[in-house]
Amino acid sequence: MKARLALIYSLIISALFLAWISVPVTTKVLNLVKTDTISKQEKRVLAIKPEFNIQNPDPYPAKYNKYYNDHFPLRQSLANFQTREIRLKLFNRPPDLDGLYVGKDGWLFIGYERDLWEKTKPYTKEDVKLIVQILHKRALAYKAKGIKFYIVAPAMKSEIYPEQNPPFFYRVTDSVMSDLVAAALEKDTVIKFVSGKDISLKYKAKGLLYQITDTHWNDRGAYYTYVGLMDLIHKDFPTVIPLSESQFTYVDSVNSGNMAVQLGLKGFYTEHIPVLRIKNKRAVPGDRTGYVPPPEFTGNTGLEVVRLVNDPDLPKAIIVHDSYGGALRPMLSENFRKSVFLFDGWYYGPNWETIDKEHPEIVILEIYAAHWNHILRWK
């Protein structure tokens, strides 16, 4: 009797296992689950089914793997379920993803900041010299056209909040690579440089300056660096006066940062983010200049934003920026009669075409401190 029952159990387990592992194939064959071509959560295009090339068959398996993984039924829902309902509840910790690390108390960090901490990658000390040379040359070229060149570098989150870093973010020496670039730029006589790191460290005690679950700073973090930049510009252009804190209202926004969203933790990992609203906004949208973004962003008109202030005494500025510039934009817009914001796809280029068209008095380069190596493409 027991043997018979044991056999029945074995049959049930075997059949269930076979059925279980066959579910994805079955759904695929019967076309039961439609998969997307884009992952909204990961913000990327999913792999397409590769063609088998008899002439060069070796890459096929890896490509097919990627395609299969990307289109696995209920992929995102299952991963999110594990992250939210199992890992977070049991271990109080979401998983690390490729290039995205979990620090203490749920703080999230971009992985490549670690390389800069370890001072090994992505650029060498020789590169540091080259970066400064390139920028110096650019500053001279701008100067020849009567343009003042300012550089502002928002700091890496891991630099401002090292106490929240994952345990493997470890500083080898006192300075990281971005510090070497900053130190060299500070000595440069043509470039006017604002170190977001110095400012953020100075004002850290005033309140949270960065978003816990996002790659970026918050409006408060952006504001203090904005003031630092404006103070510098004010020396050259006395009409430029930074907005004071009393000209803003703070609004508390509860949200999930970009990294929390990518981990599938939207709504689970939330934080209070201070949002600054300018009380008496002067800047209004202006017509785009016709800026042509880099080829990979062709057609994306959101990469150029123009703001106008009806005050002829203010200078005109072109601001080349990355995603950190998003929080600076409303503030900067108030200080120039025309502000042209260019997001040039992390090229951080001189953007001569727009400059020759607009003839600004000021060019501001806002560059996230982990991205100095991007300048090397202009050597």
Give the footprint of another protein on residues 219-258 (CB under 8 A).
Answer: 258
Angle between helices 177-187 and 196-203 (to 10 degrees): 110
For position 25 contacting another protein by CB under 8 A, the verdict is yes
Which one of 14, 37, 124, 175 is in contact with another protein (CB under 8 A)? 14
For position 214 contacting another protein by CB under 8 A, the verdict is yes
Q: Which is nearer to another protein, 99 or 285 (CB)?
A: 99
Q: Site for another protein (CB under 8 A): how many residues?
A: 73
Question: What residues are paired with 1 via a beta bridge?
Answer: none
For position 208 contacting another protein by CB under 8 A, the verdict is no
Among residues 309, 245, 247, 307, which one has the least CA distance to residue 282?
A: 309
Q: Which is nearer to another protein, 148 or 329 (CB)?
A: 329
CA separation for the pair 9, 4 (Å, rounded): 9
Whether residue 103 contacts residue 167, with contact meaning beta carbons closer than 8 Å, is answered with no
Q: Which is nearer to another protein, 133 or 323 (CB)?
A: 323
CA separation for the pair 329, 304 (Å, rounded): 11
Q: Which is nearer to another protein, 172 or 284 (CB)?
A: 172
Q: Which is nearer to another protein, 96 or 188 (CB)?
A: 96
- Count CA atoms within 13 Å of residue 185 on its CB side: 28
For position 187 contacting another protein by CB under 8 A, the verdict is no
Which amino acid does the sequence have at 374?
H
CA separation for the pair 245, 71 (Å, rounded): 49
For position 38 contacting another protein by CB under 8 A, the verdict is no
For position 294 contacting another protein by CB under 8 A, the verdict is no
The SS3 call for residue 92 is coil
Hunting for tokens 């989150």 — which residue is that?
157
For position 79 contacting another protein by CB under 8 A, the verdict is yes
Q: Which two tokens stand for residue 216?
A: 């970026």
CA separation for the pair 311, 346 (Å, rounded): 31
Contact characters 119-138, another protein, x per CB under 8 A: -x------------------
CA separation for the pair 93, 98 (Å, rounded): 16
For position 2 contacting another protein by CB under 8 A, the verdict is yes
For position 153 contacting another protein by CB under 8 A, the verdict is no
Measured from the CB of residue 67, what is the shortest distance to another protein in angstroms? 10
> Residues 6 or more apart from 314 whose CB is under 8 A from it?
237, 239, 240, 335, 336, 337
Number of residues that this document lists for the chain = 379
For position 82 contacting another protein by CB under 8 A, the verdict is yes
Q: Which is nearer to another protein, 185 or 306 (CB)?
A: 306
Q: Which stretch binds another protein (CB under 8 A): 42-50, 135-143, 238-246, 247-255?
A: 42-50
Q: Which stretch binds another protein (CB under 8 A): 18-26, 183-191, 248-256, 311-319?
A: 18-26
